[in-house]
Structure 1
């Protein structure tokens, strides 16, 4: 995929960052000061992120198996990409970066911030470990593999059957009309219907999913690559979203909710439905999971899909190799071979409920909703996750536009306007 950011653009963006305030004591800027016998890994795993305990345990095992090799783990949250870019500009970047393919990272390989790993993947005999669909997702339009694929995720809708039963809804809604009817019954019982983080990325993804109700995959790719929401089928999707929103399908004041408030509402049974990726499904309490089903988003008449829809992605976390990492490539190879081992992968599935972009027969037995989402298969239709196609400069403006979109009373024409405005200058 052609880059949307030039090398000059990357340097200009990075040069304007407030490095002193953005970087902590475990920052990546110190990475290049480590001795050649220290592998520096930069990750979001290590605090409260799902899978962190398993990851830290894996690092301990790796150190024990490789006593002559030190591993330094740098941890950042949502600001990881910005922190990494700053360290790269100073040529002090870590050797390996664990992050998703999204927003800023889409341009990294193209501008030389990270390297094409295709040769390493083949030379180390690890290609066969990767699901073909995951390898396709991490390969750009020039045939370069941006990173070693690792985490994936399913993104179905979670339905609390007990709350639906309490409201007199006798089955999981499969159509828009059934969803609107269910929302009315739930509200009369004081239960929020669909909770969603309308003020962050969770709302942006659900909005994109609903808009695609009448779009084929190729049409959806065009819409999200160009920001052209004016086609007939895209406008139908916008109108369907507005119809559902103004009928009260979404929780009150959804435009101000976040992913955290969304999961809290669902997990405390204040809301009956949520759009939940695997990491959210893994956090549903056992007493709630016992009476929760997972499925797709209900369809409208004339939809381009024959079954309710879900999102799915294989680009949640990959292992990116930096230019500094190529100077320690033997250590990087040992680390990646270890992380790709069946026993390591299985622990992430069993202990953390993570979906993987790698081949494995292990099942998330302690995470029944994650396992149920893995089994959905042909019961649902998959729509396009827009992350790989949205220009990086439009990513955050689209989230702002999402909040406006979830504000009740906003017309379909206005929703289209704010979405298209997010692309101006992209």
Structure 2
């Protein structure tokens, strides 16, 4: 796989990022300011700080950290989906922040390999923090060469949310567990003017649900091969695509799903315009209380001949981690104080209690104020877990897969054309 983050890739990325995009994204701070060389100033670059779930808890945590460490200043830089692009630009100038809080996905997959961030395994062990991390999270954040890319932090469960009140109104007696039951439920819901399954068919939410459905007939090893190579020609992959196309053309998904986004999906479910959605923990935490009262979580219904014996969910431990940059390695004492604080049990508990976040760290705290998140955490033998493909998809194929996803959710697109669109997304990888 050709990495887009080689020196040449970095330069190409930097030249393509207009100042109008990069500089305002740093909330008025220049890249020079972002790279404060003062050893008593820690620069943290995060997606938390605006409307992202957990932002109030994070900002309050920074205030507590500053009070506990009066001799250490903390600059907090905030970006949304363009964080990786902005970080790469700052790294090219050798003025990158010290710590980066972002998920393992797309561009970030190559960061440690090309020296944009450092292997943190030694720090984790030297600071005695390994036992705080769930083993599954350590495995997910470790690359093929044994390097730990970042300190794991946020995780997520990704079940299907079912609005029982809407299902009851349509005469659907039980949550569907098979494809036939799902199709029958969709027909009854549509007869009542209710959208069945809402999904962001034009963004990452649709991509994840599509991948989940395709894996109906794939073992974990087979799924890993499919999403690493883009080879959707195996019998299991073809059967999964055919299952998806059957559900789509039977009207299971909301109208014009190929044009919906994650925000529109969430709005449809939360306003009770749709009866079902594929909802990660952060979405479950936003469901209004009046809807929560008659919502249940479970897995995606299976087809006959599935390799799984229970409806499926997604789960990942790579949602947000703390990456250390080469600049951060020069201020490692300050970074250690910050990481120890963020790993403290009381800090972790606040994210669970106040924000409904799932964590990649060990904790006995339960999201009592976020009952759907707590219910998803408790899903055990009633569901089967399938592979989240993020860490296996080559970075160059990530965005093309979103385009292929929109094509896939367009009703009438044949299974063969869906397969071709998915495989085409890998040709530049």
Query: Scaled by the length of structure 2, what TM-score is found?
Result: 0.98
User: How do 1:59-74 residues align onto structure 2 when only pairs under 5 Å count?
Assistant: 59-74=62-77
Query: Does the 8 A contact of 2:5 with 2:111 survive in 1?
Result: no
Deviation (angstroms), 1:155: 0.2
CA distances 1:140-169 after superposition (whole Å, capped 9, x unpaired): 000000000000000000000000000000
Find 1:313's aligned residue among 295, 311, 316. 316
Query: Does the 8 A contact of 1:19 with 1:86 survive in 2?
Result: no
Determine the structure 2 residue equivalent to 1:23. Answer: 23
User: How do 1:237-386 residues align onto structure 2 when only pairs under 5 Å count?
Assistant: 237-386=240-389
Deviation (angstroms), 1:27: 4.8
Q: Does residue 184 of structure 1 match 2:187?
A: yes
Secondary structure of the 2:393 match is coil
User: How do 1:108-123 residues align onto structure 2 when only pairs under 5 Å count?
Assistant: 108-123=111-126
Deviation (angstroms), 1:32: 2.0
Find 1:85's aligned residue among 83, 88, 101. 88
Query: Does the 8 A contact of 2:34 with 2:95 survive in 1?
Result: yes
Distance 1:28 1:203 in 2: 34
Query: Does the 8 A contact of 1:363 with 1:371 survive in 2?
Result: yes
Determine the structure 2 residue equivalent to 1:12. Answer: 11
CA distances 1:191-212 after superposition (whole Å, capped 9, x unpaired): 0000000000000000000000
CA distances 1:296-336 after superposition (whole Å, capped 9, x unpaired): 00000000100000000000000000000011100000000
Secondary structure of the 1:378 match is coil
Give aligned pairs, total.
425
State the 4+ residue runs in structure 1 displaced beyond 4 angstroms: none
Find 2:405's aligned residue among 402, 405, 421. 402
Gaps (5+ residues) in structure 1?
Answer: none
Deviation (angstroms), 1:28: 4.3
CA distances 1:102-141 after superposition (whole Å, capped 9, x unpaired): 0000000000000000000000000000000000000000
User: How do 1:214-233 residues align onto structure 2 when only pairs under 5 Å count?
Assistant: 214-233=217-236
Find 2:178's aligned residue among 169, 175, 178. 175
Distance 2:116 2:361 in 1: 25
Deviation (angstroms), 1:31: 1.9
Deviation (angstroms), 1:30: 2.1
CA distances 1:51-82 after superposition (whole Å, capped 9, x unpaired): 00000000000000000000000000000000
Distance 1:28 1:383 in 2: 40
Query: Does the 8 A contact of 1:27 with 1:83 survive in 2?
Result: no
Determine the structure 2 residue equivalent to 1:45. Answer: 48
Distance 1:106 1:392 in 2: 7
Deviation (angstroms), 1:6: 5.8
Query: Does the 8 A contact of 2:312 with 2:385 survive in 1?
Result: yes
- RMSD (Å) for aligned C-alpha atoms: 1.1
Determine the structure 2 residue equivalent to 1:204. Answer: 207
Query: Does the 8 A contact of 1:3 with 1:107 survive in 2?
Result: no
Q: Pick closer, same or farther for the CA change 1:263–1:318 going to 2, 3 Å.
A: same
Q: Pick closer, same or farther for the CA change 1:28–1:289 going to 2, 3 Å.
A: farther
Distance 1:34 1:403 in 2: 45
Query: Scaled by the length of structure 1, what TM-score is found?
Result: 0.98
Query: Does the 8 A contact of 2:14 with 2:88 survive in 1?
Result: no
Secondary structure of the 1:377 match is coil
Distance 1:110 1:307 in 2: 37
Distance 1:352 1:316 in 2: 15
